[in-house]
Chain A
Amino acid sequence: MLKQLTHVQVWVHDQDEALAFYTEKLGMELREDVTVPELGNFRWLSVGVPGQDDVAITLMAIPGPPVFEEETRKQILALLSKGASGGLFFSTDNAQKSYEELKSRGVEFTQEPTEQPYGIDAGFRDPSGNHFRMGQQS
């Protein structure tokens, strides 16, 4: 049987910008940063939430040939930038406090902390257009 979820992948349009955003603005930690010259400088880059060591987020550059032809690469980039990528959901102990912290660091919020039947949640995006939620469960 499957044992554990270890990595989730998000496409990013620029790995350097993404790394800065996820670590400096979202407060995540760098987990892996490996560049492989034989693979056209493919860069395996992952970050994670401090304290949650067994799940990492892979910040994946959108590859051109030989992985995807140029047309596909552009389509992914276009979908990402119009907000049609998937999302990730995070928990927080205090949605309002986290919102103020992240906002002061320049994180782009799509929704301020809002009371919901299940708690308080808020939404934000990364520079590429990926959509994230954070929720404080009641």
Chain B
Amino acid sequence: MVFLPSTRHLLRAKDLVDARYREPLDVPTLARVAHLSPAHFSREFRRTFGETPHQYLLTRRLERAAAMLRNTDWAVADICLAVGLTSVGSFTTSFRRVYGVSPTAYRAAHPPLERARVPTCVLQAYARPHSSSFREDRRAAHG
């Protein structure tokens, strides 16, 4: 008999975040992909990947937003919506918390990346901010 750990299902949920962060994803949707209840899913995801699904989703969105600030001339509000966030206010707050500056200031300080021939999937994985910088999110994870 072959033992396939349930981690494989958690990975499927994590992959879904990377593929569909633009959409209104929430924990119940991700939990269904992993065949777990939302509460159990969040615990198992955190145990496996070191952060909550919500943190992973938020940092993925912020990383994508930062890349768009650098590489496009889109308005901040449009970028916020394009990465699946609905409130420009909380986007700006989260962004500032992670990158230390507002989206507008970040754009001014970071010209478009001279793209080395490194696959975008690699850039995306390495540029995602550390979720340890989320105070409000850590509270949410425990609350």
A: which residues have CB within 8 A of B? 13-14, 17, 77-78, 81-83, 89, 108-112, 114, 116-118, 121, 123, 125, 127-129, 133, 135
Contacts and interface: CB of A to CB of B under 8 A. Distances in A.
Give the dominant DSSP class at B's interface.
helix
A81 B120 contact: no
Most buried by A among B4, B12, B117: B4
B119 to A, nearest CB: 7
Interface in B23-52: 48-49
19 contacts: A13-B3, A14-B4, A77-B3, A78-B5, A81-B4, A81-B5, A82-B10, A82-B48, A83-B11, A83-B14, A83-B15, A108-B15, A111-B19, A114-B120, A116-B119, A118-B119, A123-B121, A127-B4, A128-B8
Nearest to A122: B121
B34 to A, nearest CB: 12
A129 B8 contact: yes
A77 B11 CA distance: 13
Nearest to B18: A110
Contacts of B48: 82
Interface bracket on B? 20 to 34
A14 B15 CA distance: 22
B121 A13 contact: no
B10 to A, nearest CB: 7
